[in-house]
């Protein structure tokens, strides 16, 4: 079998800084700030207006989603995604670099990386270390807003990278896919509350394993090496040669698992887009494992 040549999932702050200084930002290279924070904590758009990577555009994940869904951040349609990123100057020939300003170094960037991939765009990378390290290392920032020339983007949904509630129910019987949950251990086990005001109790899908997403990052906010990540999967008995689905609360940090596996040469991890938010509301009680009610009794 011929091994697939994977596009680089990460670019360094040095590489991007050299690209910015060489005025390479344009039709062939676009940079997106994909930051998002819970209401009342930080204002992602205002922070972008105050300071961002020169030439970057703001990717508003609240605008680029299925607004008709009762769940928080479900994928938009092909047409919606194509129109949205096209207005950001992105064509099918553009190398897209995504980053966010989270204190961890990376939070929403892997979600945007996966969104481009699930809509058929191969040339997309995450800025390793995020905006946190870009600033820390003294790379240039600006408050000047860019106005990229609109481009034509054709989106083609890659259904193999996306799982629905129906798919997850079927997998309960077939067990064809191993399911890995990226939330913290306490939320996975049901001993700590879920964040937000959606009325979700903590717990997990039966049969799923737990790999908290932040453990794929170093203390400084960079992705750990492929060797370290591969060891982490092995310790959790996650066989990267087998089909894999990643889940979390709303389909965001699950993408860290997909990125980590990609760095180990596995590009086909699927994301359960509805994740625990959907599963908790739709699945029967016996398909929701939790210590929450027992502890509250």
Label residue 192 by pLDDT band (50, 70, 90).
very high
Amino acid 3: pLDDT: 47
Amino acid 199: pLDDT: 85
- Do 204 and 181 meet the contact criterion of CB atoms below 8 Å apart? yes
- The 10 Å Cβ neighbour count of residue 260 is 30
Residues 62-87, mean pLDDT to the nearest whole number: 96
> Is the confidence at residue 2, as pLDDT, over 80?
no
Say which residues have a Cβ less than 8 Å from residue 272's Cβ, sequence separation at least 6. 163, 164, 167, 168, 179, 245, 246, 247, 251, 254, 279
At 185 the three-state DSSP class reads helix
**Helix residue ranges per DSSP H, the chain:** 13-21, 44-50, 78-86, 109-118, 130-136, 165-174, 185-189, 226-235, 254-263, 275-282, 292-296
- Active-site residue, from 64, 248, 255, 264: 248
- The 10 Å Cβ neighbour count of residue 31 is 24
Amino acid 1: pLDDT: 31
Amino acid 296: pLDDT: 54
Of 5 and 216, the structure prediction assigns the larger pLDDT to: 216
Give 180's strand partners: 209, 246
> Is the confidence at residue 32, as pLDDT, over 50?
yes
The DSSP result for 231-258, as a single string, is HHHHHTT--TTS-EEEE-SSSSTHHHHH
Mean pLDDT of the chain: 95
CA 206, distance to chain mean position in Å, is 23
The CA R_g of the chain, rounded to the nearest whole Å, is 19
Residues 144-169, mean pLDDT to the nearest whole number: 97
Residue 248 known to be catalytic:
yes
Whole-angstrom distance, CA of residue 141 vs CA of residue 11? 18
Amino acid 295: pLDDT: 56
Residues 79-102, mean pLDDT to the nearest whole number: 98
- Do 125 and 223 meet the contact criterion of CB atoms below 8 Å apart? no
Q: pTM for the complete prediction?
A: 0.96
Give tens-digit pLDDT for 95-154: 999 999 999 999 999 999 999 999 999 999 999 999 999 999 999 999 999 999 999 999
Residues 32-37, mean pLDDT to the nearest whole number: 97
Largest CA-CA distance found in the chain, in angstroms, rounded: 62
What region, left, alpha or beta, does residue 38 occupy, with left being phi > 0 and alpha being psi -120 to 50 degrees?
beta
Residues 51-79, mean pLDDT to the nearest whole number: 97
> Is the confidence at residue 31, as pLDDT, over 80?
yes
Q: Which residues of 208-239 are buried (b: 16+ CB within 10 A; e: fewer)?
A: bebbbbeebbeeebbbbeeeebbebbeeeebe
At 171 the three-state DSSP class reads helix
Whole-angstrom distance, CA of residue 173 vs CA of residue 8? 36
DSSP code of residue 141: -
Residues 191-202, mean pLDDT to the nearest whole number: 87
Residues 188-206, mean pLDDT to the nearest whole number: 90
Residues 264-273, mean pLDDT to the nearest whole number: 98
Q: Is 267 exposed, middle or buried (0-12, 13-18, 19+ CB in 10 A)?
A: middle
Amino acid 5: pLDDT: 76
């Amino acid at each position: 079998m011929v091994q697939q040549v994977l596009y680089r999932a990460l670019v360094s702050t040095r590489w991007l800084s050299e690209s910015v200084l060489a005025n390479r930002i344009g039709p062939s290279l676009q940079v997106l700030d994909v930051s998002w924070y819970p209401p009342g904590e930080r204002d992602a758009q205002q922070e972008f207006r105050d300071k961002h990577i020169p030439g970057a555009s703001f990717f508003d994940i609240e605008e680029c989603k299925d607004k008709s869904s009762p769940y928080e951040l479900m994928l938009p349609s092909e047409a919606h995604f194509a129109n949205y990123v096209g207005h950001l100057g992105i064509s099918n020939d553009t190398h897209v670099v995504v980053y966010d300003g989270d204190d961890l170094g990376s939070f929403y960037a892997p979600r945007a990386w996966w969104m481009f991939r699930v809509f058929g765009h191969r040339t997309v990378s995450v800025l390793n270390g995020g905006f946190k390290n870009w600033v820390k290392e003294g790379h240039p920032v600006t408050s000047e807003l860019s106005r990229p020339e609109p481009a034509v983007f054709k989106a083609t949904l890659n259904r193999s990278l996306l799982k629905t509630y129906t798919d997850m129910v079927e997998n309960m019987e077939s067990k064809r896919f191993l399911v890995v949950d990226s939330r913290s251990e306490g939320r996975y086990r049901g001993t700590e509350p879920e964040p937000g005001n959606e009325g979700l109790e903590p717990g997990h899908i039966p049969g799923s394993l737990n790999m908290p997403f932040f453990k794929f990052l170093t203390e400084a906010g960079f992705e750990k090496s492929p060797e370290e990540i591969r060891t982490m999967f092995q310790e959790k008995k996650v066989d990267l040669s087998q089909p894999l689905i990643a889940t979390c609360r709303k389909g965001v940090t699950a993408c860290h698992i997909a990125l980590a596996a990609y760095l180990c040469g596995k590009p086909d991890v699927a994301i359960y887009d509805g994740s625990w938010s959907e599963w908790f509301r739709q699945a029967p009680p016996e398909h929701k494992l939790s210590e929450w009610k027992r502890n509250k009794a």
